[in-house]
Amino acid sequence: MAEQVAKKARIEEVENKSVLDQLKEITVIVADTGEFSLIKQFSPQDATTNPSLIFKAAQIPEYHALIDNAIDYGNKQAANLNISEKQKLDLIMDKLVVNFGNEISKLVPGYVSMEVDARLSFDTEKTLHRARQIISLAKELGMDTKKILIKVAATYEGIQAGKILQEEGISCNLTLVFSLVQAALCAENSITLISPFVGRILDWHKSKYNKQYSGNEDPGVLSVRTIYQYFKQFHYSTIVMGASFRNTGEIVALAGCDRLTIAPSLLSELSQQHTAITRVLHPTIVSDEPFVKLPTDEASFRFLLNEDAMATEKLSEGIRLFAADITKLEKIISDKLASCFPR
């Protein structure tokens, strides 16, 4: 009798918890947004931003002061330093990223990801320069730089930049991860965190094969599970943070992953669902078939990535999309500069 009562109590306890609350017990939840009110609503541990999210937020009147502050900062620095108009615009863009990151850091106890200009994804040295500039700007605001993850696309050049930044004590988030070889090279170089994408992999397979996938068949879910298990087998310290979700089923199918970065719309859905979930990923449970360590020298990396059509296409597409939104954001800045200082 006592056992039945206890079992009923456990069931009721789960039923009273939302899926989001259950996930928070086994996975670090990260908000994938640049909007402060939404971060406050869901109380995540960390927050991530990207050019698309900041471009979206920059069009909301509530955030115009952050843009104006970045422009004022750039103008003052340009007056004191001998820099070109391009350098001034780059500085303003980085200052804007830091302004958003600084405000977000006040709302979350953990990491805040700040992204380097995606158009530099194939230039290690320029990526390093902009990353260091972001950290310098953050220090000027008194931010705790240990909370910052410099976000860079997981190209070969981006991972090399991440390696150097990590050696300098700057933590990194390597994003747009679509293949195991990208993840493996990041782990070999002790990158703090990677963001393997789920939904964009699903999009590619649906389009390529005209087929619907769900749950354990979802190719994006399977990709993250493979990366997670590979990391645990070889005892890598790099954090796996699943990203780019299309539905809550993908999220639940990765319950137990180190971190999951989730858009506010899906966080809202998860908070309203009250079904019991099962932990899928656990650090002590690895793949039934042990992995063979992938070669991660430059030639092998480029060849293995090239062999993966999906990863090659989605990485390129992701960089193009982020680059396009950076260009749109620059247009907003340039128009404001022109209105303040007409030629």
Any idea which residues carry the catalytic annotation? 151
Helix (H) or strand (E) holding 112: strand 112-115
DSSP labels, 116-133: --GGGTT-HHHHHHHHHH
**Residue 28, strand partner residues:** 259
Burial (Cβ within 10 Å: 0-12, 13-18, ≥19) of residue 87: middle
What are the CA-CA distances from residue 129 to residues 87, 125, 152, 173 (Å)?
12, 6, 13, 16
- Residue 327: alpha-carbon gap to chain centroid: 20
Strand 239-242 and strand 259-262: the pairing is parallel
What is the Cα–Cα distance from 175 to 183, expressed in whole angstroms?
Answer: 10
What are the CA-CA distances from residue 153 to residues 90, 114, 195 (Å)?
18, 12, 9
Question: What does DSSP assign to residue 295?
Answer: P
Question: What does DSSP assign to residue 174?
Answer: E
8 A C-beta contact, residue 198 and residue 243: yes
Structure tokens at 8: 């009923």
Torsion angle in degrees (nearest 10) through CA of 56, 94, 192, 24: -30
What is the Cα–Cα distance from 48 to 263, expressed in whole angstroms?
Answer: 10
Residue with tokens 């260009």: 327
What is the Cα–Cα distance from 303 to 300, expressed in whole angstroms?
Answer: 5
